[in-house]
Structure 1
Amino acid sequence: MTSIPMRGGIRGTARIGVLGGGIAGLTTAVALRNAGLDCVVFEQAPRVETAGLGLQITPNASRLLASLGVGDAVDAVATRPLSIDVHRWDGGRRLARTPLGDACVESFGAPYYTMHRADLQQSLLRSLPTGTVRLGHRCVAVRCAPETVTAVFADGSEVAFDVLVGADGISSVARRAIADDLRRFSGQIAYRGLVPAGTFPEWEAEPRVRGWFGPSQHCVCYPVASDRFISFTAMTPDATASAPEDRTARPAASAGPARDEATSTASLARAAAAAYEGWDPLVLRLFRSAPTLGLWRLHDRDPLPRWSTSRLTLIGDAAHPMLPFRAQGANQAIEDAVVLSACLRQADDQPMALRRYEELRLPRTTRIQLSSRESAEVFHLGDGDRQLERDRDMPERWALRNNEWLFGYRAESAALS
């Protein structure tokens, strides 16, 4: 593989390139390396980010991380919650409990984790050779040809590849080479923050994913960073929303806080508390206790009929950005990475490998994308007959066995079939 310069207009070539150094891109690099395939990852940020909040890693992905050799590193910094508990919005009455912990391992052969996003990113990064990730490389265009694909960077450099993987998020530059579609605003915003775990001593002995469902909105929280913090997300309608499409938004807007940097945590906490007035006092304590708060506008995109050309393919949020209601965004990116690397390892013909990857992954991710949209309506039912029916059915619907299609899926086996 030819060395690719950090700066300047020198042209280089490489066999496989990956755009984006987030979870999707880094997992792809680890999976490709395990498959005996070299790659270079191009990340636009000038340094590896340690910011971020929590995420849930479900058994369909945690088993893959173990197979990639990062399972022990993840286990050392993650939490294995005992259950998912769903509560009524106003008084906190528990509506359903999904057992996790040992029950999850027994059912699906792998744990359910909650963890800080940066901890997963660092676990992946440490397993890669120095020089795999090239920082400060912002891709501004992708040009496709039958035998090569070229990434054009903001510094004027261009690099041609046999295969290029677009892992560059919901505002993907790589996606533009395949589809001229729009991001879709969900109408929801999310207040997100981290709270020191000691703020809730009553929870320390029983780590759980805790959620509250109510009219038009919900809140979820869980321990992260080796149980040192509680990460929470509180979703609520955006009263300022005017359109479902967002072509003009800055590329980073969907991945980071939508608020102005001058907006104080105190004012955001007041806004969140006002939106959740009358809710379980535990929810309001989360807002009051957060040293910092961020505000996100929640976007996804409609499923695509295809993700690939003969030399370019998409992965993670670049391929199938999802709303967070099923907590599957990172998990599906991990599945993508393992399947893609297996397809490339097995096939002599790279265009055929990309077609097979797409055929294996697209039906599953489309189902989860649409299910995530539908879950928003179910979570946010107003009080009334439909809500009462939902609550009556929840203990059965939230039984662990009903997650077999999601948690029990074995991406590595699908790629070998």
Structure 2
Amino acid sequence: MTARTTAAPRIAVLGGGIGGLATAAFLRREGLDSTVYEQAPRLAEVGAGLVVAPNAARQLRRLGVLDAFRDRAVRLDTGWEFRRWQDGTVLSSENLADSCERLYGEQTYTAHRADLLAALQSRVPAGSVRLGHECVGLDTAGEAYTLRFADGSTAGADVVIGADGVHSVVRDTLFGAAPATYSGLCAFRALVPAPSAPEFARRPAQTLWIGPDHHLVHYPVSGGDLVNLVAFAPAGAYTTESWTATATVEEFLAEFAGWDPRLTGLIRAAGTPGRWALLDRDPLTHWSEGGVTLLGDAAHPMFPFFAQGAAQAIEDAAVLAGCLARGLDDPAAALRRYEGLRVPRTTRLQTVSHGRAHVNHLPDGTEQRARDTAYAQEDPLLANGWIYEYDPEAELDRMAAAR
């Protein structure tokens, strides 16, 4: 950690999820203390699996937690294994084992969200996390900010970081409550115990089954003990945007009726699926006002079709901490620099993620056949190099040189 002689601001981080804990961890790496306020009574990441691509793995290494994370993560040998919905024909696949580290210096992993959260939490002092603190308001008048909590308590801060998710209180305070638009899509998620899953789903591979109006992704997590499923389908009238909402296995199966029996057999082995609506939000052009800013889903919620939601929150955390550490004399200016570095990249990812749904969900026909041919000829590891080669420290160095 870097020693500091300038008096540090009081930094409040709202949200104890991946983005909030990553922020606290990177701030601590820079020698800055923070307090994380989390509404839940304990730190536990809901949901199931996620992909940790090289750009995120690079930051876990910087925090010194990658080795511990890998104890429960699964290193992928194969990625972007696209399969045809009807019979499982492999349309394309990428050999990550041979290429990923050579190109980007890190491997790609899949993991349960709770295992990533635990790795980040290991770099945050327990005393700096305040559980059971649901923020219901933020007062921005005066030289310092006041956080108001549901239990009637308050806390003061000089810098407030809203890592409080898609329903962010901080975002609503800064920019007003902007209702999301209806995307017409919903997602299902589920976990299957490995002994109940077929061999093809237990492999260290990220597999995407694509078909008319639907697609489903599966990969192993939790050291291979579980297989994570996440699927996308027309939402109908369903508009609930919550990680705790559930469906039934029968509802999940009904969406994939007529698909390859191996896939429907995998769904049938799942426990109670989660279900949530994918609501659409336009990218924000700026995230900060004075000493208050946004991070992760609070700033740039994106469709999960490039598996970059958690990774972008971790990148945000690294850049924000670096900007603050280099600009303690003027935190508001530091937050503007953070925003300036991050908005173009996250807006681009929001845009490309949005467009992927149409491509994956084409009905059988001329467009679908052209897509399948393009997938067979594409090298997604190279094509998405702009995502995986990104290095926050290089961005910060370029910013410093420009100043």
What is the alpha-carbon distance in structure 2 between the residues aligned to residue 41 and residue 240 of structure 1? Answer: 37
CA contact (8 A) 1:14 1:160 kept: no
What is the alpha-carbon distance in structure 1 between the residues aligned to residue 219 and residue 249 of structure 2? Answer: 19
Q: What is the match of residue 5 of structure 2?
A: none
Q: What is the match of residue 213 of structure 2?
A: 216
Q: Once the 2 structures are TM-superposed, how far is the Cα of residue 146 of structure 1 from its aligned partner?
A: 6.1
Identify the match of residue 291 of structure 1 among 263, 266, 271.
271
The alignment status of 1:392 with 2:373, answered yes or no, reads yes
- TM (norm. structure 1) is 0.90
The alignment status of 1:151 with 2:132, answered yes or no, reads no
CA contact (8 A) 1:53 1:116 kept: yes
The alignment status of 1:27 with 2:22, answered yes or no, reads yes
Give CA-to-partner distance per residue, 1:44-81, whole Å, 9 cap, x none. 00112254200001111110111011111111110111
Q: What is the match of residue 225 of structure 1?
A: 222
Q: What is the match of residue 356 of structure 2?
A: 375
What is the alpha-carbon distance in structure 1 between the residues aligned to residue 339 and residue 123 of structure 2? Answer: 27
Q: Once the 2 structures are TM-superposed, how far is the Cα of residue 117 of structure 1 from its aligned partner?
A: 0.3
What is the alpha-carbon distance in structure 1 between the residues aligned to residue 88 and residue 149 of structure 2? Answer: 51
Gaps of 5+ in 1: 1-12, 247-252
Q: What is the match of residue 92 of structure 2?
A: 96
What is the alpha-carbon distance in structure 1 between the residues aligned to residue 232 and residue 362 of structure 2? Answer: 13
CA contact (8 A) 2:201 2:219 kept: no
Q: Secondary structure at the match of 1:232?
A: strand
1:259-270 map, 5 Å? 259=246, 268-270=248-250
The one-letter amino acid paired with 2:237 is T
- Name the % identity: 46
Structure 1 stretches of 4+ with a deviation exceeding 3 A read 203-206
Q: Secondary structure at the match of 2:259?
A: coil
Q: What is the match of residue 38 of structure 1?
A: 33
The alignment status of 1:122 with 2:103, answered yes or no, reads no
CA contact (8 A) 1:218 1:236 kept: yes
Identify the match of residue 258 of structure 2 among 270, 273, 278.
278
Identify the match of residue 171 of structure 1 among 152, 167, 170.
167
Q: What is the match of residue 194 of structure 1?
A: 191
Q: Secondary structure at the match of 1:231?
A: strand
Give CA-to-partner distance per residue, 1:344-402, whole Å, 9 cap, x none. 00112101100000000000000101111100111111111111111111123343211
Give CA-to-partner distance per residue, 1:204-234, whole Å, 9 cap, x none. 7731001101111100000000110000011
Give CA-to-partner distance per residue, 1:122-152, whole Å, 9 cap, x none. 1111222121110000000112246322211
Q: Once the 2 structures are TM-superposed, how far is the Cα of residue 14 of structure 1 from its aligned partner?
A: 6.9
Calculate the aligned-residue CA RMSD, in Å: 1.7
What is the alpha-carbon distance in structure 2 between the residues aligned to residue 205 and residue 354 of structure 1? Answer: 43
What is the alpha-carbon distance in structure 2 between the residues aligned to residue 204 and residue 187 of structure 1? Answer: 28
What is the alpha-carbon distance in structure 1 between the residues aligned to residue 188 and residue 263 of structure 2? Answer: 12
What is the alpha-carbon distance in structure 2 between the residues aligned to residue 112 and residue 185 of structure 1? Answer: 32
- TM (norm. structure 2) is 0.93
The alignment status of 1:302 with 2:298, answered yes or no, reads no
Gaps of 5+ in 2: 1-7, 399-403
What is the alpha-carbon distance in structure 2 between the residues aligned to residue 179 and residue 362 of structure 1? Answer: 16
CA contact (8 A) 1:14 1:159 kept: no
Q: What is the match of residue 72 of structure 1?
A: 67
What is the alpha-carbon distance in structure 1 between the residues aligned to residue 196 and residue 389 of structure 2? Answer: 35
